[in-house]
Amino acid sequence: QFRLVESGGGLVQPGGSLRLSCAASGFTWDNYAIGWFRQAPGKEREGVSCISSTDGSTYYANSVKGRFTISRDNAKNTVYLQMNSLKREDTAVYYCAARFSFCSSYPTDFGSWGQGTQVTVSS
């Protein structure tokens, strides 16, 4: 079974940076797209970014374009989300998830999820 574990969340001031990690175990995820999602209290879970398994193509929500960067290290079964210029509206629990081959922005398309890591942006 797929196991995903997020880490790297914390408290940061507006304009600061964090790097989230998503580590996998129990499988080799070279053939899987990995997405990052977030959910704030009272809001639906939304897609943040995704990286495909085919050519490494990356995708970003409009709200994070130019600020966040997704990357993957297949040898380490790890995907990263570098978050710069953080805003208060970025505050949420961040999750990574896996699906076969192709990226999607819809949470229901992903079958394997991590437990989430809290990101709080506040002054």
Report the percent of the chain where pLDDT is more than 70: 99
Q: What is the pLDDT of residues 19-77, one digit of tens each?
A: 999 998 877 777 899 999 999 999 999 999 999 987 789 999 999 999 999 999 878 88
In 3-state terms, what secondary structure has residue 35? strand
Beta strands 3-7 and 92-100, pairing class: unpaired
Contact yes or no for 102/54 (Cβ under 8 A): yes
In 3-state terms, what secondary structure has residue 109? helix
